[in-house]
Amino acid sequence: MNAPTNGDHHAQPAAGITTPGAAPSRPPSDGAAPAEISPHRPPPHPSSVHPARITASQRALHDHISIGDTVTLETSAELLRLLMSRYRGAPAPLGRAIHPMTTVPLGLAIDAAIEAAGGYRLEVTTLRYSSFSMEAPTSNRRTLTAMAIVTLAGRRHVEVACTVTEADRTILRGTFGLVRVIRGRASRLTDVTASPAGLGGAPNPT
């Protein structure tokens, strides 16, 4: 789908007003970083695959989406290894049809974009459009990190830029447009988007 073109409003984040925010929609983690995975280990059991965890979050306003809100997510290589493994004599890896070396980093980027837009609490969680480029292949054994930042707030969508890295290698760069769907349609977001300056006050009119 094409990106919305009407009612968009670009704005610069206000300097010096953002404060660290709690993870909007995920339980707290134990603080331990995902361990690097040996390529010689056997395929993981599905129970060893854990959700991505928020390692950093900065929001201008807790209950609103502001330009410049950021989130960083991390996930271990266990999911990739699971999807790249053959089970019970199968002729192909479990995830062959969904191309996990692309879709796992891409899914992590989309998840980070959703969290940057307030997470599932604010319900701006439906992907409306996207564009991305794969910059390098994954190793399938190192932690993937996604950093997302809100760059645009429109009347009915939020746009988020995201970069996925593996150590010092950039794996993916992308832009994601998110909407809140009510009764099958993208709803207006003026109740959850901050003013263009990120200072609250009147809702964004665009």
User: What are the pLDDT digits (tens) for 127-186?
Assistant: 999 999 999 999 988 999 999 999 998 899 999 999 999 999 999 999 999 999 999 999
- Asked whether 193 and 64 are in contact (CB, 8 A), the reply is yes
| Cα torsion through 183, 189, 190, 194, rounded to 10 | 160
Cα end-to-end distance, the chain, whole Å: 21
Per-residue pLDDT, 77:
87
pTM: 0.74
The neighbouring-strand residues paired with 126 are: 179
Going by C-beta distance under 8 Å and a sequence separation of 6 or more, which residues neighbour residue 60? Answer: 13, 14, 17, 18, 19, 66, 68, 69, 194, 198, 199
Whether 3 shows a pLDDT value over 70: the answer reads: no
Q: Domain 39-186: give its CATH code.
A: 3.10.129.10
Residue 110 Cα to chain centre, angstroms? 4
Among 65, 197, 177, 194, smallest CA distance to 121 is for 65
Going by C-beta distance under 8 Å and a sequence separation of 6 or more, which residues neighbour residue 28? Answer: none
